[in-house]
């Protein structure tokens, strides 16, 4: 990994952590509007953003989650699996909007992993929890898609790395 990639991913992780800190009260538990999840859309521009996103999720979960180590396994695992699925599917989908739509769908569906975590460690009903967390993830990514898309016109995320 070159210095530029490392630096940009470090900044990305720092942004994820800072936004997590600000929105911490609404980010963890059964109801979790994880605002920094909007940054997951960056993966459609360059697969190298996976490092900054995963590190951001890891550090945010490490310091802010009440579930501690469990959230490091399930939360980071869910993000990593979803990001890898999006990277894989991007080979078959042309166009940024299509890839962003896939990102929304993949992250929404893989929230079952978070529902399993919350069911195991908080005792909440699995299906209801999956429905709630998936809906929240869907909304955050749906709102984030046009924001990241518009930002890309100015910043050109694909060319940064």
Per-residue pLDDT of the chain (161 residues; tens, 9 = 90+): 899 999 999 999 999 999 999 999 888 777 788 999 999 999 999 999 999 999 999 999 999 998 989 999 999 999 999 999 999 999 999 899 999 999 999 999 999 999 999 999 999 999 999 999 999 999 999 999 999 999 999 999 999 99
Query: How many Cα atoms occupy the beta-carbon half-sphere of 51 within 13 Å?
Result: 13
pTM: 0.95
Contact 18, 119 (CB under 8 A): no
Contact 118, 124 (CB under 8 A): yes
Domain boundaries, the chain: 3-160
Quick count: other Cβ atoms within 10 Å of Cβ 64?
16
């Amino acid at each position: 990994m070159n210095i530029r990639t490392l630096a940009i991913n470090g900044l990305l992780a720092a942004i994820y952590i800072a936004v997590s800190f600000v929105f911490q009260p609404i980010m963890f538990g059964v109801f979790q509007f994880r605002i920094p999840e909007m940054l997951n859309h960056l993966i459609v521009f360059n697969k190298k953003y996976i490092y900054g996103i995963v590190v951001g999720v890891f550090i945010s979960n490490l310091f802010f989650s009440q579930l501690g180590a469990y959230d490091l396994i399930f939360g980071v695992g869910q993000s990593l699996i979803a990001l890898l699925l999006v990277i894989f599917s991007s080979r078959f989908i042309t166009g940024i909007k299509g890839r962003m739509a896939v990102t929304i769908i993949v992250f929404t569906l893989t929230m079952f992993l978070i529902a399993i975590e919350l069911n195991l460690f908080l005792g909440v009903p699995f299906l209801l929890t999956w429905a709630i967390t998936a809906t929240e993830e869907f909304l955050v990514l749906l709102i984030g898609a046009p924001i990241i898309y518009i930002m890309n016109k100015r910043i050109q995320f694909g060319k940064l790395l």
